[in-house]
Structure 1
Amino acid sequence: MESGLSSLLSVSIDFETSHLVFPTIIHWILAVLFAIILVTKVIPFLAAVKRGERTLPIVGESMDGFRFFGTLALIAAYFYLMAVVGNMFPYTGYGFLFVSVPFVFLMALMYLHEWTKKAVVIVLINAIVAPSVVWFVLAKLFRITLP
């Protein structure tokens, strides 16, 4: 009886694969949730489109090309310049800080509908304060290495 109970209470861990347990569980949960979304939302929507009751939201709508391609260009420049500036100041996080301020400023200006003096000042303050607070918290308080 003792051997059965001790084997029930003993734990053996395979350290070569133990780090894969939670990612595997998360992958299966995400797959099940994706299947539920497909069945409950996407398939009925596509059936309504086929019957003519609904239309696809993307087809036939006008696109703001300036904001779309401007966003893509700013994101590409952001990641490229963050590495370049980060290499000038290694292990300080200044690459993140010095590139995030103009990125946030330009991105906000691009999506700003009315360019009033007050709105531009608010955008400028936000572009300076938000990346600075994030840089301080991550780089200084938590000592996370930023580019």
Structure 2
Amino acid sequence: MGDGFLSMFEVSVSFEQSHLFFPRIITWALVLMLGVILIKHRNALLPGLKRAGEAVLGKSEEFHWTRFFGTLTLTTAYFYLMYVVGGIFPNTGYGFLFMSVPFIFCLSLLYVDQKTWKNLAIIAATAVIAPLLVWFMLAHLFGITLP
């Protein structure tokens, strides 16, 4: 348009960064709401934060170190492997599907108290059926791209 007054009406779109516009707005809105919640309800939250700190520092007998670090390890491996497998089968959602089944199975085994045949059968069925349903609905019914 020019260098004068009308140049402020020019619109340029950086397609390398345009997909990050709304996630940035949503992220800052969520951070702002979290701040408001923390300030407004600080008196109710402080005792819970104190107990959580004691648990992590080893002062609580109820803390399950295996479950805590197992969850962190499984979740990290899940997201990494979902990306790797998704690269092998691009734009199909197979990374999500193939990695969700073992993730749900292992995470369920980590948290189940009694490992009976009935519980293992329920865990196995859930680990297969739930990701299949979610994958089918998101990828095929709604057309959402999955890794």
The verdict on a shared fold, with TM-score over 0.5 as the criterion, is: yes
TM-score by length of 1: 0.69
Counterpart Cα distance in 2 of 1:55 and 1:88 = 42
Name the structure 2 match of 1:61: 60
Evaluate the alpha carbon distance shift between residue 142 and residue 68 of structure 1 in structure 2; reply closer, same or farther with a 3 A threshold.
same
% identical aligned pairs: 44
3-state SS of 1:56 partner = helix
Whether 2:130 is the aligned partner of 1:136: answer no
Give the Cα separation in 2 of the matches to 1:83 and 1:28.
Answer: 28
2:121 is equivalent to residue 121 of structure 1:
yes
Separation in 2 of the partners of 1:30 and 1:117? 44
Asked if 1:31 corresponds to 2:32, the answer is yes
Q: Classify 1:64/1:32 alpha carbon distance in 2 versus 1 (closer, same or farther; 3 Å).
A: closer
Quick one: which amino acid aligns to residue 65 of structure 1?
Answer: W
Matches within 5 A, 1:76-87: 76-87=76-87
Alignment of 1:1-80 (within 5 A): 27=28, 31=32, 34-35=35-36, 37-43=37-43, 46=46, 56-58=50-52, 59=54, 60-62=59-61, 63-80=63-80
* C-alpha deviation, 1:113, in angstroms: 0.7
CA separation of 1:117/1:90 partners in 2, compared to 1, >3 Å: closer, same or farther?
A: same
Asked which structure has the greater CA Rg, the reply is: 1
Q: In the alignment, what sits opposite 1:92?
A: 92
In 2 relative to 1, CA 34–109 (structure 1 residues): closer, same or farther, beyond 3 Å? Answer: same
Deviation (angstroms), 1:78: 0.4
Counterpart of 1:42 in structure 2: which amino acid?
Answer: R
Instruction: Tell which deviates more after alignment, 112-121 or 59-68.
Output: 59-68
The RMSD of aligned alpha carbons is 3.3
Consecutive unaligned residues of structure 2, counting only runs of 5 or more, are: 1-9, 13-20
Distance 1:33 1:102 in 2: 33
Q: How many residues are paired up?
A: 127
